Amino acid sequence: MHRRLKSTGKAEGGAVAIIVAVLITVFIGFLAIVVDVGYMYEMRRQLQSAADAGALAAMTQKINGDDPVSEARAYATMNDLVGTPVRSDILDMANSDFDEQDYVVVAVQKPANLFFAPLFFGDSQMITAKARANRVWVTGVKGLVPWGFATMKAQAIEANVSGSWYPLSAVATDTYEESLPVPATPAADGYPVGLKLIYNSSYAEEFPNIGRIMVDVPDDEVSDVWLSVNTLSPGQSTTLYVQSSAPPRISNQPFSSADFSEVSSGLYKTTLTAPEIANPLESYPIQVKVGPNNFANAAVLVVRKSNSPVDTIEIGNSHWQPSGGGSVLMTVGWRDLEPDVSYELKLADGRATTAGNFNLLDFRDITHEDGTPEGLSSANEYGGWLAEGYPQELHINDTIATLTGGQSTKLSLKTRFDGCELSYDDWKLEKPADCGRLVTVPIIELYTDLTGSSPESYAKVVAFAVFFINSDPNDNLVTGTFVEYAQTGTYQEDRPDSSFVLETVRLDYEGIY
């Protein structure tokens, strides 16, 4: 019996040693799970932050027209693990996708150096994270300045001759044409050609005299008049040609000082310079005098600013003999907003004698698309909105009342610009978002002429845009440039039906793994 008990004790001691050895291995496994798996989980979480930051930065850069790859790497590295055995400079961005226009995918991976798990998994494990940032379109924005920029997207264009309207047809993305009938009856002052731009709201801008069709009176001293270019920007020049029986002269301002030279027998020419104008589009009839006879509308010069949607107006052979049955081709060239082009956003202080559209908005009188009214009132509404931006969010399809032009601008602009005196070229190098010269403006569609608040007139918000103000606060004109720049705000997945859109970015994890 004694020998048997002693033998059994030795056997049990050996079994305990085996069990302890197994348990130690299990404990180490649990330790590996607790320490190394927890470490890998934390590393994966932080790498996901790095991928998110890289994707958002890269898509923002793509919207802003800059290099998305370097920005993704910079932001991913800044959000990489800190204070760990894994070095930041070995962050790998393999399998990233920067080629698509409407999204970017940033994939980051790094090896995790393990502490206990090498007994089971090897010395390291590759940890990966991936993020996708989509381009989406802003539908609501805070911080707007109280200036609206009238949309340049008309839904239809019509021309008028002798009281009848003729719709122009789109023959290209930016070109409209129509053959206009030539009246049979002679008219010393010709027949004016009018232009109408019709917008979504059915509001139409009319320009009653942007060209002439001349049906010549027999034996007139003037048989033909034409301009080498008849649509100009202020300060540009064109050549006026006159076919006449005697040397002509111009008898109306601002061209009366023009001197003609004879090109050939009976053909004379002079150079005309487009004057400064207050409105986006204005026309100037040219009165040609030959001997005692004055031809009040021998030709029409059209002058347009950069914020006019009309680029060119051409009317074919505009001088006809009184026979009837002919037609003349009218062509209108169209243009949209463009980056890196200088636009006038508002007429500033000190120019009260100039007529025109001041583009001012009254945020005290807002109606949202669902009919809900809104408006904040403070002691210095306009100045505060301009210096700091309107604090509430406005949305596409909201309507806003307009303001009269006698509003103070200079002091508010000086407040806004304080700390950022960058020129546009300097700003483009880094594109700092905190520069006060960078403003967000609503693109508006007119319902009526902007007459101000007596009586009220309204405009509808159709889009938003970011604008960099180039001008000095003391300048009479507030001028600047529209920029492609990502902006935060309420957004939608589908592009709004607008010729000008404001974009932002959002993370989208669906389908990237």
Cis, peptide link before residue 309, omega less than 30° from 0: no
Q: Are 393 and 141 in contact (CB under 8 A)?
A: yes
Give the span between the Cα atoms of 72 and 427, in whole angstroms.
Answer: 21
Separation of alpha carbons 36 and 29, rounded Å: 10
Residue-level pLDDT at 214: 80
Please tell me the distance from the alpha carbon of residue 227 to that of residue 301, in angstroms, as a whole number. 8
- What is the model's pLDDT at position 417? 92
E strands within 199-248? 204-215, 222-227, 231-232, 237-244
- The reply to whether omega before 234 is within 30° of 0 (cis) is no
Q: Give the other-Cβ count within 10 Å of 15's Cβ.
A: 10
The rounded distance, in Å, linking the Cα atoms of 220 and 295 is: 10
* Cα–Cα distance, 344 to 338 (Å, whole number): 13
The pLDDT value given to residue 6: 53
Q: What's the pLDDT at 13? A: 58
Tell me 475's DSSP state. S
Beta-carbon contacts of residue 5 (< 8 Å; ≥ 6 apart): none
Amino acid at 401: A
Helix, strand, coil abundance in the chain, percent, nearest 5: 20, 40, 40
Reference 232, options 195, 179, 289, 271; nearest CA is 271
List the chain pLDDT tens, one digit each, 513 residues.
455 545 555 555 567 777 777 777 777 667 666 777 778 888 888 888 888 998 999 998 888 888 888 888 888 888 776 544 444 444 667 777 777 778 888 888 888 777 665 555 566 778 888 899 999 989 999 999 998 888 777 888 999 998 899 999 999 888 999 999 888 888 767 788 999 998 876 788 889 889 888 877 666 788 888 899 989 999 999 999 999 889 999 988 888 888 999 999 999 999 999 998 878 889 999 999 998 888 888 889 999 988 888 899 998 766 666 665 688 899 999 887 777 788 887 755 544 333 444 578 888 889 998 888 886 665 568 888 989 999 999 999 999 988 766 567 788 889 999 989 899 999 988 888 889 999 999 988 877 665 554 456 788 898 898 999 998 888 877 889 988 888 888 888 888 776 677 889 999 877 665
Q: What is the pLDDT of residue 404?
A: 66
Burial 73-101 (b: 16+ CB within 10 A, else e): bebbbebbbeeeebeeeebebeebebeee
Cβ(132)–Cβ(154) under 8 Å?
Answer: no
Query: What are the two backbone dihedrals, phi and then psi, of residue 428, each rounded to the nearest 5 degrees?
Result: -65, -20
Q: Is 190 buried (19+), middle (13-18) or exposed (0-12) by CB count in 10 A?
A: buried
Model pLDDT, residue 118: 57
pLDDT of residue 350: 43
Determine the pLDDT at residue 190.
79
Question: 154 vs 151, 199, 410, 494, CA distance in Å?
Answer: 8, 5, 33, 22
